């Protein structure tokens, strides 16, 4: 956990990490992503590791959460 | 990366350091100014930082030397002798050359260092847009996010394609259902509703009916076969009986020709033959038990059996014919029995199912009498074909419903898929819009922040010249390409290279370097500026120095080398905001001694040392105190516009300056000295009146000339304590008037007093009292 936090800290030192954080905040604000997914998607988004299926799953999970609510 | 303060730099045999050279850093000071004339080794110190941090020696590059590492070591030494060590409060890092590579011990401890050399000051301005982009890529390189963005675009493209396919398939499904609907005569108003109703029909009912028909038809077929089977069986029986009668007749004929009783005799002989085969030499006859003629009995019996072979054959033929007749009779009986069973089975099949009215059935029950059965079959013979047709119709209906059901299912699945995509795709598109928007804002924000920082720094050096509107823009048509523009003559967006003077461009280059460095972990970064003031023109150099002083405190440390002598003098006299400044001076470099350092301390500190020496030297104390007092009086008379005698050379003595501060002014001169802060952070000041100090100095000022300026026999009559007292009074004045951190009170922005930076000293009044 501590290592993850350290990695996240290093990530946030990079422009990609900072931009990814802003993007995720907006996506969550607009309910396109679930807040619970933010941490696990941040590093993948910043490091270019988010695959098409990851995008789809994240959006569909938020969509299904919205439906339930 | 470490932020701990620097303690010392030790340079061993790198470039000019022919013997190991140590540069100690003063505790609590983040700026080190290294003053030295040309060829004193300033650049070697900058090289040492670059060697340690980046494994190269930048001063040798771009000189047409090719690979420069063969020139890194000092004369008479080799690459393996080169070592640079930076000691900080927390750790020590040493760099050495190992097999042509610069390695650090411990590994991974290279400090962050940014080096700007005079020759590179225009590098960012003159660079091609692509190279310029590379310089700032560390701030705006979001290639990771761009890669993720690309996969989102790919997903949207694929899903749009999937949606197009789903739409086409929905159309195909609709067309197929429409055709079914039309072939069914377009019942109802809507093909889909009709298809839903049709699909809801129970296909199993068709199958049950179909199976029942199959069973009925099979049962009927079994019954229908009996007339022919029974006729055939009767014919077979008749034929068998005829054949049997013929064998009887033949046997009678054979027996008639043979002796009477031969038939029975043959039987006896036949019966004896197996016994004699088993007992070939019996002691007596098995039939009469007589021993007479018992010899050769077996051979004689065999011979007689052969003699009666035709009788035997006729008898066997008759037996076989009788058996055939019996078998034919049994078969006929079995058929009749089976007919009864199958007739009942047909009736059972007929009544076991609730038939649709359209299914034709025999009006009479299936008879078991052969004649009646033949008539019954004749009258119902068309039914089997009709049942088969009904079965085929049911099969077709069942298949139709199944096909329709599948078509409807596919249709609904594709409609659902289309709907899902219609909900999903706009969300993905919105996500992409957000990414594009945030990426643009982020990049613009970073570039604007850099440009604003550059503009602020530039404005500090060139205030009011209107040249601070710097802009950095990415070329939208070319990836990784950065344009730089400035305001000139009120016109925005002009390339500075085209209109700015060389001096302005140099300042701009320095400002860009400082701005970029200050935005990238400055607290971990040591700045090294190698003689960058040289090309700045005189009117701007002082503001540039002040800007550097205020800017470098954000960094871990800053080392500035210079051969600009006025800076040295201004630092010496505390005329700059030199609180964070550690000033050192290099003397002439020699091939034997290498770099030589002089500990440069402000004159006030030097005076303090002279006064504190045991025993003190009155001549040195008076000499140093006199010069300092002249500087202080020069400052005060200039500040309050006091009257002094005009002279061509502008030189003033204590005799000119002390009276220039008239009594009214002396009495009003007070200094508030910041001593700390009270409750709520309110600054607390101690007030010192300068009048008693100045009056005492006026009284004893003559000792300066007696002791400190010339050989004078008057000094024989004076006490050393008078000389030391003069020095102490000067120190009192300087301690009150100047701050060791922020220099002299030169700022009048308050409108009521003169202040140092941070208001550590407040000098009253603002103007000479009238």
Domain ranges of chain B: 1-120+502-600, 146-200+406-439, 222-351, 607-764
- What is the spatial distance between Cα B547 and Cα B511, in angstroms, rounded to a whole number? 10
pLDDT of residue B30 exceeding 70 = yes
Alpha carbon distances (Å) from B766 to B173, B279, B634, B662, B759:
95, 169, 16, 15, 14
Q: Which of B145, B151, B423 sits opposite A46 (nearest CB)?
A: B145
- How many domains does chain A contain in total? 1
Chain A's closest residue to B439, CA to CA, is: A19
pLDDT of residue B708 exceeding 90 = no
Please answer yes or no on whether A56 and B148 come within 8 Å at the CB atom. Answer: no
Count of A-B CB contacts under 8 Å: 88
Please answer yes or no on whether A59 and B427 come within 8 Å at the CB atom. Answer: yes
Lowest mean pLDDT among B68-77, B262-271, B749-758: B262-271
Chain A's closest residue to B444, CA to CA, is: A19
> What value of ipTM does the predicted structure carry?
0.91
pLDDT of residue B81 exceeding 70 = yes
Q: Which residue from A25, A26, A36 is spatially nearest to A62, judged by alpha carbons?
A: A36
- What is the spatial distance between Cα A12 and Cα B436, in angstroms, rounded to a whole number? 19
Confidence bin at B568 (pLDDT 50/70/90): confident
Q: Which residue in this structure is represented by tokens 């040798």? A: B60
Phi-psi region of B758 (alpha: psi -120 to 50; beta: other; left: phi over 0): left
Residue ranges of A 8-67 with Cβ closer than 8 A to chain B: 13-20, 22-23, 26-27, 30, 32, 44-56, 59-60, 63
Alpha carbon distances (Å) from B521 to A8, A30, B236, B515, B526:
17, 33, 117, 12, 10
The radius of gyration of chain B's CA atoms, rounded to the nearest angstrom, is 64
Please answer yes or no on whether A15 and B152 come within 8 Å at the CB atom. Answer: no
For position A1, what pLDDT does the model report?
39
For position B223, what pLDDT does the model report?
93
- Per residue in A18-47, pLDDT tens? 999 999 999 999 999 999 999 889 999 999
Chain B's closest residue to A42, CA to CA, is: B145
Instruction: Find out whether A24 and A45 touch, Cβ atoms under 8 Å.
Output: yes
- What is the spatial distance between Cα B132 and Cα B698, in angstroms, rounded to a whole number? 62
Residues of chain B contacting A47 with CB distance shorter than 8 Å = 144
pLDDT of residue A3 exceeding 50 = no
The residues, ordered by sequence, that sit 6+ positions from B410 with a Cβ below 8 Å of its Cβ are B169, B173
pLDDT of residue B102 exceeding 90 = yes
Residue A34 backbone phi and psi in degrees, to 5: -85, 140
Residues of chain B contacting A27 with CB distance shorter than 8 Å = 431, 434
Please answer yes or no on whether B144 and A56 come within 8 Å at the CB atom. Answer: no
Please answer yes or no on whether B141 and A50 come within 8 Å at the CB atom. Answer: no
Instruction: Find out whether B44 and B117 touch, Cβ atoms under 8 Å.
Output: no
Residues of chain A contacting B142 with CB distance shorter than 8 Å = 15-16, 19
Q: What average pLDDT does the segment B125-133 reach? A: 80
For position B487, what pLDDT does the model report?
74
The share of chain B scoring above pLDDT 70, in percent, equals 97
For position B14, what pLDDT does the model report?
95
Residues of chain B contacting A14 with CB distance shorter than 8 Å = 141, 144
- In this structure, what token pair is assigned to residue B332? 């006929």
- What is the spatial distance between Cα B497 and Cα B73, in angstroms, rounded to a whole number? 38
- Per residue in B634-680, pLDDT tens? 999 999 999 998 887 778 888 899 999 999 999 999 999 999 888 88
- In this structure, what token pair is assigned to residue B392? 């085929």
- What is the spatial distance between Cα A27 and Cα A37, in angstroms, rounded to a whole number? 11
Cα B754 from chain centre:
56
For position B213, what pLDDT does the model report?
93
Domain of residue A48: give its range. 2-68
The radius of gyration of chain A's CA atoms, rounded to the nearest angstrom, is 12
- In this structure, what token pair is assigned to residue B200? 């809801």
- What is the spatial distance between Cα B468 and Cα A17, in angstroms, rounded to a whole number? 31
- What is the spatial distance between Cα B186 and Cα B389, in angstroms, rounded to a whole number? 25
- In this structure, what token pair is assigned to residue A13? 């030192």
Q: Which residue has the higher pLDDT, B586 or B464?
A: B586
Q: Which of A18, A59, A60 sits opposite B431 (nearest CB)?
A: A59
Give the DSSP H or E segment for B41: none
Confidence bin at B599 (pLDDT 50/70/90): low
The residues, ordered by sequence, that sit 6+ positions from B249 with a Cβ below 8 Å of its Cβ are none
CATH architecture of B1-120+502-600: 3-Layer(aba) Sandwich (3.40)
d(CA A23, nearest CA chain B) in Å: 6
d(CA A52, nearest CA chain B) in Å: 5
A69 touches chain B (CB under 8 A): no
Please answer yes or no on whether A18 and B442 come within 8 Å at the CB atom. Answer: yes
Alpha carbon distances (Å) from B685 to A18, B670, B736, B745:
45, 12, 12, 15
Please answer yes or no on whether B439 and A30 come within 8 Å at the CB atom. Answer: no
Alpha carbon distances (Å) from A20 to A8, A10, A15, B90, B450:
12, 13, 8, 34, 21
Mutation pick from B148, B417, B443 vs chain A, by most beta carbons of A within 10 Å, is B148
- What is the spatial distance between Cα A20 and Cα B144, in angstroms, rounded to a whole number? 9
Mutation pick from B138, B144, B162, B480 vs chain A, by most beta carbons of A within 10 Å, is B144
- What is the spatial distance between Cα B350 and Cα B612, in angstroms, rounded to a whole number? 138
d(CA B671, nearest CA chain A) in Å: 47
For position A52, what pLDDT does the model report?
96
Lowest mean pLDDT among B111-120, B193-202, B596-605: B596-605
DSSP string spanning B292-351?
Answer: TT-TTHHHHHHHHHHHTHHHHHHHHHHHHHHHHHHHHHHHHHHHHHHHHHHHHHHHHHHH
- What is the spatial distance between Cα B139 and Cα B447, in angstroms, rounded to a whole number? 9
Please answer yes or no on whether B435 and A51 come within 8 Å at the CB atom. Answer: no
Residue B767, SS3 per DSSP: coil
Please answer yes or no on whether B430 and A30 come within 8 Å at the CB atom. Answer: yes
Please answer yes or no on whether B431 and A27 come within 8 Å at the CB atom. Answer: yes
- What is the spatial distance between Cα B80 and Cα B84, in angstroms, rounded to a whole number? 12
């Amino acid at each position: 956990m501590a290592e993850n936090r350290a990695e996240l800290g290093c990530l946030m030192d990079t422009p990609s990490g900072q931009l990814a954080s802003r993007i995720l905040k907006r996506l969550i604000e607009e309910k396109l992503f679930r807040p619970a997914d933010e941490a696990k998607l941040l590093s993948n988004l910043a490091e270019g590791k988010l695959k098409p299926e990851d995008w789809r799953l994240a959006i569909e999970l938020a969509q299904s959460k919205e439906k339930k609510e | 990366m470490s932020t701990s303060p620097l303690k010392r730099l030790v340079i061993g045999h790198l470039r000019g350091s022919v013997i190991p050279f140590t540069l100690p850093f003063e505790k609590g000071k983040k700026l080190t100014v290294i003053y030295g004339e040309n060829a004193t080794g300033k650049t070697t110190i900058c090289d040492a930082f670059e060697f340690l941090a980046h494994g190269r020696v930048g001063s040798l590059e771009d000189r047409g030397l090719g690979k420069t590492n063969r020139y890194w070591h000092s004369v008479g030494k080799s690459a393996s002798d080169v070592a640079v060590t930076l000691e900080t409060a927390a750790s020590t890092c040493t760099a050495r050359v190992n097999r042509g590579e610069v390695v650090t011990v411990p590994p991974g401890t290279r400090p962050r260092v940014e080096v700007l050399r005079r020759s590179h000051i225009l590098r960012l301005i003159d660079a091609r847009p692509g190279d310029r982009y590379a310089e700032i890529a560390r701030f705006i390189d979001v290639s990771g996010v761009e890669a993720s963005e690309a996969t989102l675009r790919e997903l949207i493209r694929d899903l749009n394609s999937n949606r197009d396919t789903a739409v086409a398939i929905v159309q195909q499904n609709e067309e197929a259902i429409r055709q079914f609907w039309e072939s069914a005569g377009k019942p109802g108003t809507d093909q889909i509703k009709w298809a839903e109703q049709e699909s809801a029909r129970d296909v199993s009912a068709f199958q049950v009916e179909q199976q029942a028909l199959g069973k009925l038809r099979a049962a009927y077929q079994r019954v229908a076969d009996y007339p022919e089977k029974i006729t055939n069986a009767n014919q077979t029986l008749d034929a068998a009986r005829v054949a049997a009668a013929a064998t009887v007749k033949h046997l009678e004929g054979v027996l008639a020709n043979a002796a009477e009783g031969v038939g029975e005799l043959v039987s006896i002989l036949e019966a004896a033959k197996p016994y004699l085969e088993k007992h070939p030499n019996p002691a007596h006859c098995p039939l009469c038990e007589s021993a007479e003629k018992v010899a050769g009995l077996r051979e004689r019996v065999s011979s007689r059996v052969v003699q009666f072979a035709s009788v035997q054959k006729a008898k066997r033929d008759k037996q076989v014919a009788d058996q055939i007749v019996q078998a034919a009779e049994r078969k006929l009986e079995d058929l009749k029995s089976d007919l009864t069973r199958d007739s009942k089975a047909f009736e059972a099949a007929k009544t076991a199912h609730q038939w649709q009215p359209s299914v034709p059935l025999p009006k009479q029950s299936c008879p078991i009498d052969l004649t009646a059965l033949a008539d019954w079959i004749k009258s119902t013979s068309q039914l089997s074909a009709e049942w088969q047709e009904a079965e085929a119709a049911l099969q077709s209906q069942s298949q139709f419903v199944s096909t329709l059901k599948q078509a409807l299912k596919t249709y609904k699945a594709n409609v659902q898929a289309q709907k899902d995509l219609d909900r999903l795709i706009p969300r993905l598109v919105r996500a992409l819009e957000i990414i594009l928007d945030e990426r643009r804002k982020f990049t613009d924000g970073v570039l604007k922040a850099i440009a604003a920082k550059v503009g602020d720094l530039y404005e500090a050096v060139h205030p009011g010249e209107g040249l601070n509107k710097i802009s950095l823009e990415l070329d939208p048509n070319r990836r990784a390409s950065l344009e730089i523009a400035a305001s000139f003559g009120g016109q925005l967006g002009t390339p500075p290279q085209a209109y700015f003077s060389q001096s302005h461009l140099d300042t701009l280059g320095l400002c860009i370097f400082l701005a970029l460095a200050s935005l990238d972990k400055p607290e971990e970064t040591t700045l090294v500026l190698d003689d960058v003031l040289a090309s700045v023109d005189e009117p701007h150099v002082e503001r540039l120095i002040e800007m550097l002083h205020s800017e470098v405190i954000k960094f871990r440390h800053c080392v500035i080398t210079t051969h600009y002598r006025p800076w040295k003098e201004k630092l010496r006299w505390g005329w700059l905001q030199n609180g964070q400044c550690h000033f050192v001076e290099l003397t002439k470099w020699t091939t034997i001694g290498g770099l030589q350092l002089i500990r440069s301390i402000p004159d006030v500190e030097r005076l303090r040392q002279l006064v504190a020496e045991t025993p003190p030297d009155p001549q040195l104390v008076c000499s140093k105190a006199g010069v300092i007092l002249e500087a202080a009086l020069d400052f005060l008379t200039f500040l309050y516009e006091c009257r002094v005698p005009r002279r061509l050379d502008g030189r003033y003595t204590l005799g000119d300056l002390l009276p220039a501060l008239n009594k009214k002014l002396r009495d009003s001169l007070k200094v508030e000295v910041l001593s700390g802060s009270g409750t709520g952070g309110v600054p607390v000041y101690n007030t010192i009146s300068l009048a008693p100090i100045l009056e005492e100095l006026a009284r004893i000022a003559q000792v300066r000339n007696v002791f400190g300026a010339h050989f004078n026999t008057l000094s024989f009559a004076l006490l050393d304590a008078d000389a030391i007292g003069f020095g102490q009074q000067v120190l009192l004045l300087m301690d009150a008037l100047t701050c060791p951190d922020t220099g002299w009170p030169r700022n009048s922005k308050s409108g009521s007093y003169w202040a140092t930076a941070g208001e550590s000293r407040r000098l009253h009044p603002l103007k000479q009292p009238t």
